[in-house]
Amino acid sequence: MVLKKEFFELPTGVIYLDGNSLGPLPKAASARVAAMMQDEWGQMLIRGWNAAGWMDQPDRVGDRVGRLIGAPAGTVVMGDTLSVKVYQAVAAALNMVPDRRVILSDTGNFPTDLYMVQGLIDALDRGYELRLVAPEEVAEAMDDQVAVVLLTQVDYRTGRMHDMRQITERAHAAGAVMVWDLAHSAGAVPVDVAACGCAFAVGCTYKYLNGGPGAPAFIYARADLAERVEPVLAGWLGHDAPFAFDLDYRPAPGIGRMRVGTPPVIQMAALEAALDVWDAVDISELRAASVALQELFISEVEARAPELRLASPRDPNMRGSQVSFAFDEGYAAMQALIARGVIGDFRSPDIMRFGFTPLYLDADDVRAAVDHIEVVMRDRLWDDPVYKTRAAVT
C-alpha cells in the first residue's frame, strides 16, 4: 500500500494533479522547519554548523536521495538548483573527453538544461556545439564527434520516457559521457543509476520528492569517477579543507567536491522531513500504482471528454508519471479546472498536464477529477475571458 495521504497537508476541495511540478507540503516539514529555526538557528546561532550537523547535511541528505535512484552511499550530494547542477555535470563531463566537441541532447529536453549548455559553450569558447535531435533520433545521432550526451529521462511536456540503460550503453559504445537529468524521475519511477552506468545524474527535489519550493538539487557521480572529476564550479565548500582558507583550490575527496557554497539549511530541513515518507515506500509498488491511476485517467477522459487528444505515449512503459492532453484552448481549460479545485498545469503551446502521485492520490480522486474535466469541456467553461489571461507561471 503506497497511499500515505495522512502524511500530507492537502487543502480540502482540491485534487492535486501537479505534484510533478511542485509536491505538496508534508505535515512533518512544518514542525521540522519550525524546530530548526527555533532550536537550531535561534538558540545555537553559528554553533549549529557543527552542533546541529548543518555542514554534513548535503551529504547526509544526498545519501537518502541516492537510495531512491540506485546510487551507493557517498555518490550523491545536495546543493544549488538543478540548472546549476546541469552546468556542473556537463562541464565536468566535457573535461573527460577533451578531443570531442559535440554535446548531444533532444528537443524534448527542458529548456533550462539547453540554456545552461549554451551558456557553458560560450563561456568555454573552445568550439563546442550543441546538437539537438528529436527524442527518437538520439541513438542514431551518437557519432564519434559526441563528447557528452545530456538527456532528461522523462519529457516534461509529454511524459515520454527514455530507456536509460539502453541509451547509456549506446553512448558508451560511441565513446561519449552520459549525463541524465532525473527531474521527473526521482520519486516517480524506479531508477538505478549505478546499474545503468552513467557518469553523472542530476535532479531536483521539489517535484515528486516534495521538498518544497526552492528545495536543493542533487548531483550523482559514478563511484569510480569521484576522485577524478573536475568540479568546474570551484566553490569553497567543495575544497579539500575549506577552513584552511588556502589561496588555491584543491578539490575535496569524493562527491563532496561537487558542493559549491553555503547549503540552504532551512530548506533542507523541510526536505529531510519530506524524505521520511520514502522510508516506507517501495518504488516499484509506487510505479505500479501510478500506472494504474494513469490508465484509469486516460480511459475516463477519452470516454467523457473526447475533445482532448492524448499527447503522451499510449504505452504506459513509455511514460513517466504524468499524462498530457492537447487542446487548443488548453490554458483556459486548465484555469477553469483549477477554479473547480482540480490542479494541473499548462505547457505551451497546447498541453494540459496532469501528474500522478500515488502517495496522495487514489482512484476516487482520479474519477472525481474527470467529472470536472467532463463538465468543463461539455459546458465549454473554458470559453470565458476570465480564464484566458495568462499569469507569469502557467
Ligand X SMILES: *Cc1c(COP(=O)(O)O)cnc(C)c1O
CA atoms of 152 and 134, how far apart (whole Å): 13
Q: Is 16 a catalytic residue?
A: no
Rounded to a whole number of angstroms, the minimum distance from the CB of residue 163 to ligand X is 17
In whole angstroms, the minimum distance from the beta carbon of 179 to ligand X comes to 12
CB of 293 to ligand X, least distance (A): 21
One residue of 27, 70, 74, 83 binding ligand X per CB under 6 A: 83
When the beta carbons of 82 and 120 are compared against ligand X, the nearer one is 82
Strand order of the β-sheet with 351-355 is: 309-310, 322-326, 351-355, 345-347
Residues with Cβ < 8 Å from 286, sequence gap 6 or more?
A: 2, 188, 358, 359
Site string for ligand X, 316-355 (x = CB under 6 A): ----------------------------------------
Instruction: Point out which residues pair with 78 in neighbouring strands.
Output: 218
Judged by CB under 6 A, the stretch of 8-16, 26-34, 77-85, 367-375 that binds ligand X is: 77-85
Contact 256, 76 (CB under 8 A): no
**157 catalytic per annotation:** no
Q: Which of 18, 106, 155, 181 is an active site residue?
A: 181
128 part of the active site:
no
Site for ligand X contains 113 (CB under 6 A): yes
Catalytic site includes residue 110: yes
Q: Which of 64, 207, 287, 347 is catalytic?
A: 207
Beta strands in the chain (DSSP E): 8-9, 15-16, 25-26, 76-79, 102-106, 129-133, 146-152, 177-181, 200-203, 217-221, 309-310, 322-326, 342-343, 345-347, 351-355
**Side-chain half-sphere exposure of 268, counting CA atoms within 13 A:** 25
Kindly state the number of chain residues that form the binding site for ligand X, as judged by CB under 6 A: 13
User: Interior CA angle at 51 toward 50 and 53, to 5°?
Assistant: 65
User: Among residues 181 and 300, whose Cβ is nearest to ligand X?
Assistant: 181
Q: Which of 27, 37, 44, 81 binds ligand X (CB under 6 A)?
A: 81
Tell me: cis bond preceding 349? Omega within 30 of 0 counts: yes
First to last CA, the chain: 33
Q: Smallest gap, in angstroms, from Cβ of residue 152 to ligand X? A: 4
Interaction residues for ligand X, span 190-249 (CB under 6 A): 204, 217
Comparison of 260 and 336: residue with beta carbon closer to ligand X:
260
Would you give the DSSP letter of residue 319? B
Do residues 86 and 258 lie in contact, with contact meaning Cβ atoms separated by under 8 Å? no
The active-site residue, picked from 80, 287, 353, 360, is: 353
- Rg value, the chain, Cα: 22
The only residue of 22, 76, 82, 149 in contact with ligand X, by rule CB under 6 A: 82
Q: Which of residues 160-189 bind ligand X (CB under 6 A)?
A: 181, 183-184
Residue number, 83 or 95, with CB nearest to ligand X:
83
Catalytic residue at 181?
yes
**Piece of the chain touching ligand X by CB under 6 A; list 25-33, 109-117, 220-228, 363-371:** 109-117
Contact by Cβ (8 Å): 358, 3: yes
> Please, are residues 33 and 47 in contact by the beta-carbon 8 Å criterion?
no
Q: Which residues are catalytic?
A: 110, 181, 206-207, 353
Residue ranges that bind ligand X, judged by CB under 6 A: 81-83, 110, 112-113, 152, 156, 181, 183-184, 204, 217
